[in-house]
Amino acid sequence: MWRVTRKLISGFTTALLFTLLVVTLFAVISSQAADGEPNVFGYELKTVLSGSMEPEIQTGSMIAVQPTEETTQFEKGDVITFTNPDDNLVTHRVHEVENDGQQYITKGDNNNSTDAEPVLAENVLGEHTGLTVPFLGYAFVFATSEQGAVLLLILPGVLLLAYSAFTVWRALRQIESSKKNEEPATEESVSPPRQE
């Protein structure tokens, strides 16, 4: 029973370390290729670092945004991601539609008033799909920082190598001990009986 449990734990540990390494590699490479934000199956993953859309979107969440070229289609109540005049990305709800969708009055759900400036349709990147993963944004921001990338790429790799070395060492010890157990006992020489 203990042997089966040990094998399961060993397999799980190896899979976990390998998965962590692959996920971190994917996050770092895709964020570098997409200038900071990864793309998955055509959806852009964005990190929310303010509480303006709480409680629906918590601070530190990662959200999926569906990019669109048809930026005049949004209606009141849609949650859109856009670039504000300071060139920052913002995800807020459409409060009013003006000039047949040429501009939008937006508001964060947690804010007391609408945003100071209307959003031009040309500055809208896409619509929030509703997919929100709480706290994953904090992990992603850390993973894509220089220190985080180094730590998360090197640490799982070192742990995986160390665990592999330990597994090989343990297997070699088991082989050696089984060989010792299989060696026949040396026979003592017996002198033939004397005849008189």
Question: Can you tell me the mean pLDDT for 128-152?
Answer: 78
> Where are the chain's structural domains?
1-33+137-166, 34-134
Residue written as token pair 């759900």: 109
CATH of domain 34-134: 2.10.109.10
Q: Does residue 100 have a pLDDT over 80? A: yes
Q: Does residue 147 have a pLDDT over 60? A: yes
Residue written as token pair 């508001």: 107
Predicted confidence band at 181 (pLDDT cuts at 50, 70, 90)?
A: confident
Question: Can you tell me the mean pLDDT for 176-192?
Answer: 63
CA atoms within 13 A on the CB side of 88: 8
Predicted confidence band at 66 (pLDDT cuts at 50, 70, 90)?
A: very high
Q: Does residue 35 have a pLDDT over 70? A: no
Q: Which residues are catalytic?
A: 50
C-alpha angle 37-38-39 in degrees, rounded to nearest 5: 125
Between CA 123 and CA 153 the distance in angstroms is 35
CA atoms within 13 A on the CB side of 2: 0
